[in-house]
Amino acid sequence: MPRQVSREGKVSLYNRNLYVGVVHGGKQVSIQYDPEQEHWLISDNAGQQLRTHPALEINAESIRTLQITGQK
């Protein structure tokens, strides 16, 4: 699902804001999970990777307890 980068350069994912960069404000981006690196990959519509972020919320405990979003 495409997401819109805010004017502040952030996108929302699982109730968290990931910084992409203010230079990308207004762009549509895609976010994918890289299981080998355990990172979120943020790319533009052309497939150009813009940024990566550690996927700290994806771990065995959060999956077991269904608490990926941090909401209870």
The torsion region of residue 65 among left (phi > 0), alpha (psi -120 to 50) and beta comes to alpha
What pLDDT shows up at residue 67?
62
pTM listed for this prediction = 0.79
Model pLDDT for residues 7-59, shown as the tens digit of each residue: 999 999 988 899 999 999 999 999 999 989 989 999 999 999 999 999 877 76
Neighbours of 10 (CB within 10 A): 18
What pLDDT shows up at residue 64?
54
Q: What is the dihedral of CA 13, 1, 6, 14, to 10 degrees?
A: -10
Question: Helices marked H in the chain — which ranges?
Answer: 60-64
CA 49 to chain centre: 12
